[in-house]
Amino acid sequence: MMDNFEKLVELLEKYFDVNIDRPSIGMLARLFKEVRINKYDNLIYLGSENSNIYFVVSGILRDYYIDSDGKDRTRFFISEGSMCGEDSLFIGSSSFTCTQALEDCVLLTITGEDFRYIISKYEQFKDMWVKALEGALAYKIKRENSLLMKNAAQRYMDFLVDYPELEKRIRQKYIASYLGITPVSLSRLRKTLQKNGGAVTK
């Protein structure tokens, strides 16, 4: 547990460009619990009640919707140093998405109540939370623009920028789900881009 916790602290300090003092680290170590989830298992199920926040120490997860036809639509991916489950802090109801592990994952979890406590009491964690919200909002605006204004090839290039190295770690069908196209269309798109030297046409 401690090794993974220290790794999380290191990831958070790097991601948010902060230094977490030793007393705060001790306090956090008491509040966090380790969770392990196997590849392709769900961490959060559609309609489930979740009040916890999860920080990814290792592995990749995806957050996805299930549409009226029973097809899943990937909302975003979550990798090392990122968090998930924070929707519960805002909507306070049963989950409207699922969260699935795409690799064996090690997570550290904290209750929503404890999370609210540390960001209200400790300035450095409040600053980290603000940066996380700013990053999430910027991503949401960029993602919305990509879905509404760009073609599949341009969305694919956005994916490569937003999630470097992820293509090598996850199955193509999940990338296709994120782009809003079929795996067959993604395969054709990748072949076309390779022929064009990676150039994207409008």
**What residue ranges define each of the domains in the chain, with the CATH number in brackets?**
2-122 (2.60.120.10)
Asked if residue 200 has pLDDT above 70, the reply is no
Predicted local distance difference test score (pLDDT) of residue 144: 92
First to last CA, the chain: 49
Q: Is the pLDDT of residue 197 over 90?
A: no
Which token pair is 71? 């097809």
Report the DSSP pairing between strands 52-58 and 98-101: unpaired
pLDDT, the chain, mean: 86
Which single residue is written with the structure tokens 């076309």?
192
Quote the CA–CA distance of 76 and 147 in Å, as a whole number.
13
The predicted structure's pLDDT at residue 182: 94
Q: Using CA atoms, how far apart are residues 72 and 122, in angstroms rounded to an integer?
A: 39
169: which 2 tokens? 């770690």
Least confident interval from 26-35, 59-68, 142-151: 26-35
Q: Residue 10: in which H helix or E strand, if any?
A: helix 2-16
98 contacts: CB under 8 Å, gap ≥ 6: 42, 44, 45, 46, 63, 64, 65, 66, 72
Cα separation, 95 vs 85, in Å, equals 9
Q: What is the structure's pLDDT at 201? A: 46
Of 36-45, 109-118, 163-172, least confident by mean pLDDT is 109-118
Among all chains, which residue has been given the structure tokens 């599949």?
A: 152
The torsion angles phi and psi of 96, rounded to 5 degrees, stand at -100, 5
Axis crossing angle, helix 2-16 with helix 22-31, rounded to the nearest 10? 120
Integer Cα distance of 134 and 140 in angstroms: 10
- Across the range 13-31, mean pLDDT stands at 77
Do 117 and 30 meet the contact criterion of CB atoms below 8 Å apart? no
Strand ranges in 48-94 using DSSP code E only, listed in sequence order: 52-58, 61-66, 72-78, 83-84
